[in-house]
Amino acid sequence: MTALIGAPRDRADGRAKITGTARYSAENDFPGLVYAALVLSDIPAGRVHAIETAQAAKLPGVLKIYTHENAPKAKQQKKEGEVIWRNLALLQDDEVRYDRQPVALVVADTYERAIDAASRVRVTYVKTDAATDFAKADTYIPPETNKGPEVKERGDADAAFASAPVKIDRIYTTPQEHHNPMEPHATVALWKGDDLTVYDATQGVFPTRARLAYTFDLPVEQVHVISPYIGGGFGCKGSVWPHTALAAMAARDLGRPVKLALERPQMFGSVGYRPLTHQRLALGADPSGKLISTIHEVKNNTSMFDLFVEPSTAITRMLYAVPNLRYKQEVARLNFGTPTFMRAPGESSGSFALESAMDELAYEVGVDPLALRLLNYAETDPDEGTPYSSKSLRECYRAAAERFGWSKRSSAPRSMHEGRELIGWGMATSSYPTNRSMAAAYVRIAADGSVIAATGTQELGTGSYTVYAQVAAEALGISPDRVRFELGDTTLPQGPVSGGSQTAASVSPAVRAAALDARDQVLAFASADPKSPLFGATPGGVTVTDGRFALTSDPSKGATYAEILARHPAAAIEGRAEAKPDPEIKKQYAMHAFGVQFAEVRIDADTGMIRVTRMVGAFASGRILNEKLAHSQYIGGMTWAIGMALHEATRTDPRNGRVMNANLSEYLVPVNADVPALEAILIPEEDPYVNPLGVKGIGEIGIVGGAAAIANAVFHATGKRVRDLPIGPDKLV
Ligand code: MOS
């Protein structure tokens, strides 16, 4: 049988999505459902002085207006140690700590009446001084967070840097960026007595359940979270934000189902963003380009009431062999909402600095940028000295360089052009850690041989319905067409948050183990049945192909799942499994996916208009579950890299802490015309250590290094080194 895992199958849910039958959170309706609309603050810091609701409350259809004066009790503060939880503004006090913070919630019988009434609520404030200017804010080293200590050193980085023959010491900056998934956040909440059901656009139904249970002081069993489809997440749906809890609060108080769907401008408020970063990256090297010392000092903004560290130094700690290294992560508190994870949090912003600096070093010592990476190639983890569970970065470099035609590059800046167009070629390394968490699954085989497999995981647009059906089908020895995968529901076996590129590595082993359990139960039943051709067969003496068990010794003797189960008394056979990472193996091996990106830009010499005309990436991420969907993930990440390099920036006004471009008309993301034919080469890689299937994550590595590759191409084209993203014509002419 041809391998089912890896096969480039079409999306199982593709038809449902394009025909509109896939139901997203905001599309759920119930009898008696009412609509909630947020009233948001107009100041970045201070207190609510008074809220005038009388006029709005009198409007037809308005049911209730919640403010800090009448809102039911809810826990705003997160539980200690909950990394993916955020402190929330839930109308529990009169404090305002960022512009666009929820200060009231209006509920009405229609959406239009709710937003109209919300616009008529008058709020007055007592303003206090706001910190909105990062350049003027004090920074401090936060306590240890989820990516290790915030200050660390190996060797003596400063002394080694001071005496290094070649030095690069630069500041790189990246702006705040807002996730803009196609589907804005949305919640529908309803209660039966003290039992809460929530339809929510979330990257984690179980963490959302836990947070809501905590917020309303309920046992988790009384909270049911459902999220079968989400229209993109990228990190902003990885935490619970105020609107979800506020919808649940109002639904309980009113005894009606409540829908709260954010409008696009409200995506730029209380639902997270990538913080801005200010990064000092210093490289000390010998005259050949061999690294002697690396120093990476990062500052990012967080909010006044919560801590988020953008771990930009994470990639610097592990990417190259360098004996002396020091890093530091600092934060500055500003009156903005709390930042959060955004696609490759840390690695994407950090790789812009590191891989730009490596390009600067390559020019400084006169070595080809790719050769410089090979010269500093890490054979073992530079921090711990542990071996890699697998690392195919050399193969990535070779394949992508060859495909791109890198050897034909002339190294001098401004040396390649065509008419008025300056042509630049740049490259950068990609990497992303291999994460994994506990996941559970069941696999049910019905009497007709059809299969339902399930884990309470999520479908972010990544292909979950498709790939886990492939995993179950391969273990069972049947066609994936016979398997339906279910997800996005807390009544299913537990799955982790879909963040940190960990879903495939976590869920696949659980689904596979549950499928093997179900298969073995079916075989055991046949083996015990004197009338079965498989009577007395052992698992080792049998193969399963296309849904039929056959004796290895005599393949003419066998039976299909349906034939065996026809005589089984139960309606279905159910296999169950729980799979979790082994902390010992995690200590013994460094586990990362690796890759490389090459970019070509063409720049109008007079106007500075930049177009990315070609990108070739090559990535090695362990075993690939579906080549077609993996390619989509990679080029999706590369598209994000184009946005990060050239378009995306949240512009805030320091006078009032307000986002000035809070809509897709002004917050620029790449459109089709900005995205050339992208190519991602899938480098085969076997990894016996990361998990039983050898799967590494692919959701985030595609963005890593991409912005640096483009910035390096811009330097090659123009001779201008732009260290401040995004790069626009304004920075070139
Ligand atoms: Mo991803 S930014 O960890 O959702």
pLDDT tens string 106-156? 999 999 999 999 999 999 999 999 999 999 999 999 987 666 777 888 999
From the CA of 504, how far away is ligand 1's center (Å)?
14
Instruction: Please give the distance, rounded to the nearest whole angstrom, from the Cα atom of residue 719 to the centre of ligand 1.
Output: 35
- Report the alpha-carbon distance of residue 676 to residue 361 in Å, rounded: 29
Work out which ligand 1 atom sits closest to the CA atom of 460: 4
Q: Are residues 449 and 575 in the same domain?
A: yes
pLDDT for residue 634? 98
Q: Tell me: cis bond preceding 726? Omega within 30 of 0 counts.
A: yes
Mutating to test ligand 1, I would choose from 84, 273, 308, 343 the residue with most ligand atoms within 8 A of its C-beta, which is 343
Residue 146 lies in a domain: no
* 627 assigned to active site: no
- The residue out of 554, 580, 606 marking a domain boundary is 580
Q: Cα separations (Å) of 309 from 301, 331, 355?
A: 8, 7, 21
Q: Is residue 200 located within the same domain as residue 256?
A: yes
- Where b means 16+ CB within 10 Å and e means fewer, 194-221 reads eebbbbbbbbbbbbbbbbbbbbbeeeee
**What number of H helices and E strands is found in the chain?**
16, 30
Ligand 1 proximity of 202 Cβ (cutoff 6 Å): no
- Is residue 342 within 6 Å of ligand 1 at its C-beta? yes
Both 698 and 555 in one domain: the answer is no
Q: Which atom of ligand 1 is the closest one to the Cα of 341?
A: 2
CATH number at residue 39: 3.30.365.10
Atom of ligand 1 nearest to the CA of 234: 4
Rounded distance, CA 382 to CA 621, Å? 20
Query: Using an 8 Å Cβ cutoff, are 122 and 67 in contact?
Result: no
Answer whether 341 contacts ligand 1 (Cβ < 6 A). Answer: yes
Check residue 1 and give its pLDDT.
40
Residue at token pair 């990256």: 281
Residue 145 has what pLDDT? 67
If asked whether residues 249 and 396 sit together in one domain, one would say: no
Q: Which residue has the tokens 């999220």?
A: 227
Cα 87 to ligand 1 centre (Å): 18
Binding site membership of 345 for ligand 1 (Cβ less than 6 Å)? yes
3 within domain boundaries: no
Neighbours of 275 (CB within 10 A): 30
Q: Which of 249, 268, 287 is the last residue of a domain?
A: 268
Task: Report the C-alpha gap between 475 and 543 in whole angstroms.
Answer: 11
CB 644 within 8 A of CB 368: no
Out of 648, 679, 685, 700, the active site residue is 700
In the chain, which stretches have pLDDT less than 70? 1-2, 145-147
* Same domain, residue pair 423 and 549: no
Whether residue 122 is found in the same domain as residue 249: yes
**What DSSP line would sit under 59-77, residue for residue?**
STTEEEEE-TTTPPP---S
Answer whether residue 403 is part of any domain: yes
**Is 157 a member of any domain?**
no
Residue 146 pLDDT: 64
Q: Are residues 629 and 572 in the same domain?
A: no
470 domain residue, yes or no: yes
* Residue closest by Cα to atom 4 of ligand 1: 235
Beta carbon of 238 within 6 Å of any ligand 1 atom? yes
637 lines ligand 1 (CB under 6 A): no
- ∠ CA 506-381-399, rounded to 5°: 75
Does ligand 1 lie within 6 Å of residue 232's CB atom?
no
Report how far ligand 1's centroid is from the alpha carbon of 499 (Å): 4
The atom of ligand 1 lying closest to the CA of 235 is 4
Q: What is the pLDDT of residue 165?
A: 98
CA 300 to centroid of ligand 1, rounded, Å? 18
Share of the chain above pLDDT 90, in %: 97
Task: Tell me: do 313 and 450 sit in the same domain.
Answer: no
500 lines ligand 1 (CB under 6 A): yes
- Verify that 31 and 61 share a domain, yes or no: yes
Structure confidence at residue 7 (pLDDT) = 95
Which residues, other chains included, contact 301 with Cβ-Cβ below 8 Å and sequence gap of 6+? 134, 137, 176, 275, 276, 331, 332, 333, 334, 336, 339
Distance of CA 395 to the CA centre of its chain: 26
What is the structure's pLDDT at 363?
Answer: 98
Query: What are the contacts of 557-561 at 24+ separation with CB within 8 A?
Result: 557/533, 558/533, 558/534, 559/526, 559/532, 559/533, 559/534, 560/449, 561/445, 561/449, 561/476, 561/478, 561/522
Asked if residue 720 and residue 605 are part of one domain, the reply reads: yes
Give the atom of ligand 1 at the shortest distance from the alpha carbon of 203. Answer: 4
Residue 66 included in any domain: yes
Written as six digits, the tokens of 46 are: 């201070």
Residues 72 and 194 placed together within one structural domain of the fold: yes
Quote the number of domains for the chain.
3
CA 225 – ligand 1 centroid, Å: 20
Q: Where among 222, 247, 268 does a domain terminate?
A: 268
Q: Is the beta carbon of 697 within 6 A of some atom in ligand 1?
A: no
Q: Is the CB of 343 under 6 A from ligand 1?
A: yes
CA dihedral 363, 368, 370, 375 (to 10 degrees): -90
Ligand 1 centroid to residue 247 C-alpha, Å: 24
Ligand 1 center from residue 561 Cα (angstroms): 39
pLDDT given at position 150? 77
Quick check: CB of 106 below 6 Å from ligand 1? no
State which residues form the domain around 91.
25-129+182-232+237-268
Angle between helices 706-718 and 627-646 (to 10 degrees): 50
Residue 152, number of CB atoms within 10 A of its CB: 14
| 69 CA from centroid of ligand 1 (Å) | 36
433 CB within 6 A, ligand 1: no
> What whole-number distance in Å separates Cα of residue 398 and Cα of residue 316?
22
Question: How many angstroms separate the first and last alpha carbons of the chain?
Answer: 59
Q: Which atom of ligand 1 is nearest to the CA of 344?
A: 2
Cβ neighbourhood burial of 378 (10 Å; 0-12, 13-18, 19+): middle
Using the mean position of ligand 1's atoms as its centre, give its distance from the Cα of residue 498 in Å: 7
Residue 634 lies in a domain: yes
Q: Which of helix, strand or coil describes residue 318?
A: helix
* Probe target for ligand 1 pocket from 341, 435, 503, with the most ligand atoms within 8 Å of CB: 341
**Residue 573, in any domain of the structure:** yes
What are the helix (H) ranges across 28-96?
A: 54-57
Give the residue from 177, 185, 266, 270 showing the smallest Cα distance to 230. 185
Say if residue 247 is in the same domain as residue 293. no
Closest ligand 1 atom to Cα of 700 = 1
Atom of ligand 1 nearest to the CA of 343: 2
